[in-house]
A and B are shown apart, each in its own frame.
Chain A
Amino acid sequence: MDALRACVGGAVDAEVGPRPSDLTLRLGRTGDLPAAAAVLIGSHSMALATLVATDETATPDGDLKVRYVFEPTARGAADRFVTLLISVDAARPEVPSLTTAIPAANWHEREMQDLFGIVPIGHPDPRPLVVHDGWPRGVFPLRKAFDGSRRVPVEPADEFPHLIAEGEGVFEIPVGPIHAGIIEPGHFRLTSVGETVLHLDARLFYTHRGLEKRMEGLVPLDAFTIAERICGVCSVAHGMGYCEALEQIAGVEVPPRARLIRSIALELERIYNHVGDVGNVCAGAAFHYGTATGARLKERLQQMNERLAGNRFLRGLVVPGGVRLDLPDDLLRVLAITLQDTLIEFDSLMGRIEANPSVVDRLDDTGVLPHQAALDFAVTGVAARASGVDRDARRDHPHGAFAAPNAPELHVVTVAKGDAMARVTVRALEARESIRLVGEFVRRLEPGPLRVALAEPLPGGRIGIAAIESARGEAVHWLRTDALGRVERYHLRSPSYHNWPAVALAAETAIVPDFPLVNKSFELCYSCTDR
């Protein structure tokens, strides 16, 4: 704190919040932002967790606000978020860009420019990110004055300026947004010399659905239905993150049995994702036995999900205040047997993969993400841990049953190498760890209530923040209620949001035919990145 005060010129007001363990530092001058961020990153080894802009022009403050939320990265650090809060003049909405010093801020700042019209001065790549060709200039959809429910005419537009390499013998390969398989849309502009990738420019946000705007003004229970559906394969994680933020605002404690059931669901989501992802990596390496086995095991897990929750993606299990459905003994038996069988068959599949030189050759040394790059981009989840970054939100920001006093210990898996094989290995070990954890959670289940009521309306003007370790890594949810207790602003920083730039970087160590394999080894979501 003193170091921070020493290196910024203007005033710094510190207050506790949003949670009791967190700190919010209000900077008197926007110009002090780079220095303050440098102190947090440098002396306190923190990383950018999320960036939330809000439009408060209609409030007495009459300004736009930007919150740069940082989290500690040191092993064993306390669960704490530090927010740098700056006020931006709506008449001249400019802030100094942090991207050159903090690469992880890149997309955050571009998104803020597109949706709020807050310009990051000095940003090295200020191209539009979220809004695509034909979006009218000067229209900012997340400003409060903008009516989000209407469609906006498409204006004539020039071709998007892709960042490409040029020179003799350099080829440009456009891929997408519509891909050849059953996958999500994104545009990849590869430039290559022969088979070697020189540069990859990824253009996403094709599936931007305006969900954050859509949730504004809704009662929190209705908005939950949307939060749970931001992403298919992160339904539990995002539903739970939204709920935890909401429950902080409501000031309620979720009953122990509900916490355990939530954590069981979160691990089940991780297991079906990781098992399926290992199968899909086999598809990228043309190992069809592995693809079919992975798909079959994933299918069995999803059929079990349907028995437990009535939905193959476990939707409808988590609700604000707790869980809607109990896990009675007969279903717990189904769960135990299915997971036991899955473990045996998954071990056998991993054995076949590791014993197959044609697969291992494709994965080894392919798509390397260096440790330092993983730190610079604040990469999270499997991709980070496969590059030796020892971070896991289940341990670092305890949630669900991990926040309870008698929580089981989590063994965080890390591998140093950072290649596709490392990411497959981390997934395999984590799937096993998750199966073990489900057993631990089931053992701790005691009879008890499943749900607490949330006050209606909810307290106004409060902020909730939650970090959840989804199958893809840490997701950060930021929620604020308005005076009537409805959703005033909700922002999700999905794990894939920080990881996509890492895919582009890792692809540059690969050859063109290995790009699908590199992509699958990261296995990122488009929908929760684009929202």
Chain B
Amino acid sequence: MLRILLNALRTGVVTTRYPAEPSVPPNRFRGMPVLLPGSSLPPPKVCPTGALSERLDAGRRHVALDLARCVFCGRCAEDPWAGAVTMGREFELAARTRADLRIEVVADDPAVPAAGRVTGPAAEPTPDADAEAARAASEIHRVLGRSLHLRHLDAGSCNACDWELAALLNPVYDVRRLGIDFVAAPRHADGVVVTGPVTRNLETAVRRTVEAIPEPRIVIAVGACAASGGIVGESYASAGGVDKVLPVDVYIPGCPPRPEAIIFGILVALGRLDARRLARE
């Protein structure tokens, strides 16, 4: 017992300060792909999950990227398109609609700026870290009274998103410090985080679990499969994304999204819950 206490003391505090302080992923991290307008962008068939699309408008080639479908494999940023697409390090990508996850550029004209989601940090870094942490906590308190309780629902994921959700409870991310926790019963939950594309064999269980969560509830689709069907798509075995089965409040892109990207998405969802509660009142 004494050794356990000594070890714990020796280890010290390992918890991250995110979201109070910004997090910088390592150099090789593959975050949001950045499409350079005007350069020769890859054709859609380069993307194995169909995240890239193109259309001709007034003779000009528009190339669009759907972040909900992207699995961040980096193939569109390999030669010969390495100059046209680079894998950026931005990971705070959660959005409230699928449309917000779409980036479109005109391939042949550098003068036209990118449309849709504009590159740049969604959460402005704040000068005062403690104030930001306090703000997050007070937001949860104001909206939910005490804390945000989420239920996890595996709707056919490969388990990677699930492990990242589990990582939120490890000593490094420790989301309980933000007033967020995962609960066992849907009846105790304010919302649900869904991973996976909703398989045929789970569709009934998914519906029933979500129906058991009291209103107003939030539904957060975590990862490419939940957000769009991802690598699975729509098939005999899969609905092709959570929003084919249930209304989704927040989409978190990634394959899987890193834990801090999920924290960011949950904070985006909090704003959503707030808006809905006001509407009811």
Binding site for B on A (CB under 8 A): 131-132, 135, 141, 146, 148-152, 154, 177-178, 180-185, 205-211, 213-214, 218, 221-222, 224-226, 229-233, 235, 289, 292-293, 295-296, 298-299, 302, 306-313, 315-316, 324-325, 348, 352, 525-528
Q: Does B158 contact A (CB under 8 A)?
A: yes
- B25: which A residues are within 8 A, CB to CB? 306
A207 touches B4 (CB 8 A): no
B235 touches A325 (CB 8 A): no
Residue of A nearest to B164 (CB): A312
A148 touches B236 (CB 8 A): yes
Which of the segments B131-139, B166-174, B213-221 contacts the partner chain?
B166-174
Residue of A nearest to B185 (CB): A180
Taken residue by residue from 153 to 165, chain B's Cβ proximity to chain A (1 for < 8 Å, 0 otherwise) reads as 1101111111111
Known: A132-B201, A180-B185. A225 touches B48 (CB 8 A): yes
A510 to B228 alpha-carbon distance, docked (Å): 42
20 CB-based A-B contacts, threshold 8 Å:
A141-B236, A151-B200, A152-B200, A182-B169, A206-B205, A208-B237, A211-B231, A224-B48, A225-B73, A229-B158, A229-B255, A231-B158, A233-B159, A235-B160, A295-B169, A302-B167, A306-B28, A309-B28, A525-B159, A526-B159
B167 touches A299 (CB 8 A): yes
A210 touches B171 (CB 8 A): no
Known: A151-B234, A214-B232, A229-B255. A207 touches B185 (CB 8 A): no
Contact of B232 among A135, A152, A178, A209 (CB under 8 A): A209
Contact of A183 among B3, B154, B170 (CB under 8 A): B154
Most buried by A among B3, B158, B162: B158
A316 touches B30 (CB 8 A): yes
A229 to B202 alpha-carbon distance, docked (Å): 19
B259 to chain A, nearest CB (A): 8
Query: Chain B contact residues: over half helix, strand or loop, or mixed?
Result: loop
6 additional A-B residue pairs with CB within 8 Å, beyond A232-B158, A299-B167, A324-B78: A183-B154, A185-B202, A209-B199, A231-B158, A232-B162, A299-B170
Q: Does B241 contact A (CB under 8 A)?
A: no
A209 touches B238 (CB 8 A): yes
A306 to B152 alpha-carbon distance, docked (Å): 24
Q: State how many residues of chain B have any CB contact under 8 Å with chain A.
A: 65
B255 touches A226 (CB 8 A): no
Residue of B nearest to A351 (CB): B3
B202 touches A221 (CB 8 A): no
B232 touches A211 (CB 8 A): yes
A324 touches B154 (CB 8 A): no
Most buried by B among A209, A296, A312, A528: A209
A207 touches B156 (CB 8 A): yes
A207 touches B154 (CB 8 A): yes
B256 touches A306 (CB 8 A): no
Contact of B162 among A184, A224, A226, A311 (CB under 8 A): A184
Q: Does B264 contact A (CB under 8 A)?
A: no
B28 touches A313 (CB 8 A): no
Q: Does B40 contact A (CB under 8 A)?
A: no
A206 to B160 alpha-carbon distance, docked (Å): 16
Which of the segments B6-14, B57-65, B95-103 contacts the partner chain?
B6-14
Q: Does B68 contact A (CB under 8 A)?
A: no
B4 touches A352 (CB 8 A): yes
A526 to B155 alpha-carbon distance, docked (Å): 12
B157 touches A214 (CB 8 A): no
